[in-house]
Amino acid sequence: MQKRTLAKRIAAGFLTGLVSAALLTGCGGSSGKPSGGSGAANNPPKIEVPARAPVSTAPTMTFKFGETEAKVYELTGVDLKDIIRSGKIVTLGDDIFFHTDTKHYEDKVQHMNKVTMKNETISNLVDLGPSGDISELTTNGKTVVWQSSRKATDGKDKLMIYDGKEANVAGKWSGSPAGDPDSDKFYVLWGHELREQHLENGEWKIDKKLIEDYQKIDPEFGRVAFKNVCVSKGEIYIRYFLPKKDGAKNDTPMLIAFDKSGKELRRYEGVKELPRGWAVTENYVIATGSQGVFRVYERKTAKLLGEAKVDKLRPFALWTSKGNDVILYDDRAKKLYRVDF
């Protein structure tokens, strides 16, 4: 990814649907630039994390970021080889949801499946029906929504809703949504807008537009496309890639946090070599690369805590199940893991 820092962030105001908010420098530093770089952080802060419940089995492997040890547990019980083909996974209660490969079904389209997790074991593989874009999947902690397959719904993108019991085809699909676990809201990227929406009788309803045009916020954003990651602790996390220039080898993966009024809070720089997923936990923001690299920031300050390279893992998609526990899909091993950060 590119070898340069972000351009100095400008002070800019923007008009939201209901709120006028001034864009402020993020908590990562007075310059507003993302904290940290490659390698371990200098003088990482000590993070108070919740105590963990006892785990029934020994970890499959461990690794350290800074002075903190992460424990990795392989989830066994269902053979997922040649089943998962997912750019995103989510959890609802004890269930883990993911897209499956087209060759697994006679209709030759992707499907949404789920398994149930208890401790370090997964069971009860269930097919929930056809799915579309493997990166479109989210939950607000009450329902799980994803984009349907156009082949299965008359050539149109439809909304699929799983309410904990069954999946049903609903109204039109809308942009790139992220569900809010603290409300019934979804925060949806549509074009260059960021909208607050909710579901009503299977249809999207717009509550307000938090950002009318994100490309006007910062000169850098005129060159990028935003994609929703998640909503956590009242903050909306969105990823993007800064295009390479000045002889840089690759683009730079970034994550940006907004509050629910559309005000920018902070930015995080991802793993530059073969970047993959992001996860936002109780205490951390985690960026990964497919060569087994984990870069970990303190969530509240964007301070880099450390970076680790785990040769035995290829983290492709991640989702926070609770606290600092992350469910990880390894697309080389074709397995699910739980990582306790």
Give the domain CATH number at 292: 2.120.10.30
For 123-157, letters b (16+ CB in 10 Å) and e give: eeeeebbbbbbbebbbbbbebbbbbbbbebbeeee
Q: What pLDDT is stored for residue 41 in this prediction? A: 53
Q: Of the spans 37-41, 54-58, 63-67, 195-199, which averages the highest pLDDT?
A: 195-199
Work out the average pLDDT over 136-144: 96
Task: Please indicate, yes or no, if residue 46 is contained in any of the structural domains.
Answer: no
> Structurally, how many domains does the chain consist of?
1
Task: Please indicate, yes or no, if residue 142 is contained in any of the structural domains.
Answer: yes
Task: Please indicate, yes or no, if residue 158 is contained in any of the structural domains.
Answer: yes
Residue 64 binned pLDDT confidence (cut-offs 50, 70, 90): very high
Is 104 a residue whose pLDDT tops 90? no
Residue 8 binned pLDDT confidence (cut-offs 50, 70, 90): very low
Per-residue model confidence as pLDDT tens digits over 215-260: 999 999 999 999 999 999 999 999 999 998 777 888 999 999 999 9
The rounded mean pLDDT for the chain is 86
Domain with 211 in it: 58-340
> Which of the two residues, 163 and 52, has the higher pLDDT score?
163
Task: Please indicate, yes or no, if residue 13 is contained in any of the structural domains.
Answer: no
Is 15 a residue whose pLDDT tops 60? no
Is 326 a residue whose pLDDT tops 90? yes
Work out the average pLDDT over 70-76: 97
Please calculate the CA angle 200-204-207 and round it to the nearest 5 degrees: 90
Task: Please indicate, yes or no, if residue 19 is contained in any of the structural domains.
Answer: no
Task: Please indicate, yes or no, if residue 239 is contained in any of the structural domains.
Answer: yes
Task: Please indicate, yes or no, if residue 189 is contained in any of the structural domains.
Answer: yes
Q: What pLDDT is stored for residue 60 in this prediction? A: 96
Q: What pLDDT is stored for residue 3 in this prediction? A: 38
Residue 154 binned pLDDT confidence (cut-offs 50, 70, 90): confident
Residue 2 binned pLDDT confidence (cut-offs 50, 70, 90): very low
The lowest-confidence range among 47-56, 81-90, 231-240, 313-322 is: 47-56
Q: Cα separation of 147 and 145, whole Å?
A: 7
Task: Please indicate, yes or no, if residue 51 is contained in any of the structural domains.
Answer: no
Q: What pLDDT is stored for residue 24 in this prediction? A: 27
Is 109 a residue whose pLDDT tops 90? no
Q: 């690759």: which residue's tokens?
A: 250
Stated as kind and residue range, the H or E segment containing 115 is: strand 111-118
The lowest-confidence range among 106-115, 148-157, 206-215, 299-308 is: 148-157
Closest CA to 112 of 120, 121, 92: 92
Residue 274 contacts residue 34 (beta carbons within 8 Å):
no
